[in-house]
């Protein structure tokens, strides 16, 4: 069973997957509590536009994806905060528009190839040493920001209006949160895929919430579920020769179903 770690590419895959699991679960806790779960899918599709531009123009798709995802996150927060639009409506508009733009770009540029599909469904086994270093550096910065403002972000998630009255810089922290989430998602699509990253960011938190614990314990439980799903998914992927991104998502879905059954009883 441990022979899986004899290969360098599997070591890199496990390391990248665990880092992404930590980032996705921690950031996912805040967006789920804010009823903002669909932002993960929306920004993943926005990042896909950056991937398409990078593939067609010959630039590094990862960096273009990060830039486009951040700009999309800012636009979403601007529309939500300055116009009388519901959050889910804004996310739905951006999700549909981003996917349409991505399809048009790759169609015009003839970029429908294996590289694009690796970003759609994830290609964790092809993660390079440079990818791992990039994910670690930017992931550490993102995690540090979330932990630094964790109390304020939780307060905003609990009651945004009361947080404003209490003197918390709600607008700044909202933009900061969506920026961090955008960076995490853009970094994750290479590992999990743009079509699957939303599951890893949202489902562990929803599973942990079924146990009705306090915020800190819920965050730790969500983190544990995310890491466990990555490890189990990678094991199944290796031994059964299945796509890693899909097996990771199926693993976290299994944990979710199990959490429902346990708490129902």
Domains of the chain: total:
1
Q: Give me the pLDDT at residue 74, please.
A: 93
- In tens, the pLDDT along 183-239 reads 999 888 877 777 778 888 999 999 999 998 888 899 999 999 999 999 998 888 888
Secondary-structure breakdown of the chain: helix, strand, coil percentages, each rounded to the nearest 5: 85, 0, 15
Domain that holds residue 91: 2-264
* Total-model pTM: 0.87
Asked if residues 50 and 65 have their Cβ atoms less than 8 Å apart, the reply is yes
Q: Which of 78, 76, 81 is nearest to 97 (CA)?
A: 76
The whole-angstrom separation of Cα 173 and Cα 33 is: 15
Other beta carbons within 10 angstroms of residue 116's beta carbon come to 18
At residue 188, the pLDDT reads: 84
CATH code of residue 239: 1.10.3470.10
Overall residue count recorded for the chain in this entry: 265
Q: Which residues of the chain have pLDDT under 70?
A: 1-3, 84, 109-116, 265
Instruction: Please classify residue 209 by burial: count the beta carbons closer than 10 Å to its beta carbon, then call 0-12 exposed, 13-18 middle and 19+ buried.
Output: middle
């Amino acid at each position: 069973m441990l022979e899986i770690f004899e290969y360098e590419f599997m070591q890199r895959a496990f390391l990248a997957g665990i880092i992404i699991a930590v980032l996705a679960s921690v950031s996912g806790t805040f967006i789920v509590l804010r009823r903002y779960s669909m932002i993960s899918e929306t920004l993943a599709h926005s990042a896909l536009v950056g991937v398409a531009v990078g593939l067609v123009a010959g630039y590094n798709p990862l960096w273009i994806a990060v830039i486009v995802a951040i700009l999309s996150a800012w636009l979403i927060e601007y529309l939500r905060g300055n116009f009388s639009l519901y959050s889910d409506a804004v996310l739905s508009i951006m999700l549909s528009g981003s996917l349409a733009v991505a399809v048009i770009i790759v169609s015009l540029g003839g970029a429908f190839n294996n590289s694009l599909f690796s970003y759609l469904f994830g290609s964790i086994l092809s993660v390079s040493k440079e990818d791992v270093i990039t994910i670690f550096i930017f992931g550490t910065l993102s995690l540090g920001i979330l932990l630094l403002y964790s109390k304020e972000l939780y307060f905003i998630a609990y009651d945004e209006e009361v947080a404003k009255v209490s003197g918390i810089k709600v607008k700044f922290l909202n933009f900061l949160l969506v920026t961090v989430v955008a960076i995490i998602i853009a970094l994750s699509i290479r590992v999990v895929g743009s079509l699957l990253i939303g599951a890893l960011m949202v489902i562990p938190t929803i599973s942990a919430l079924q146990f009705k614990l306090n915020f800190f314990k819920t965050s730790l439980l969500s983190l544990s579920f995310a890491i466990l799903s990555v490890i189990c998914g990678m094991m199944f992927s290796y031994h059964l020769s299945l796509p890693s991104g899909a097996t990771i998502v199926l693993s976290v879905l299994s944990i979710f179903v199990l959490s429902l059954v346990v708490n129902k009883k």
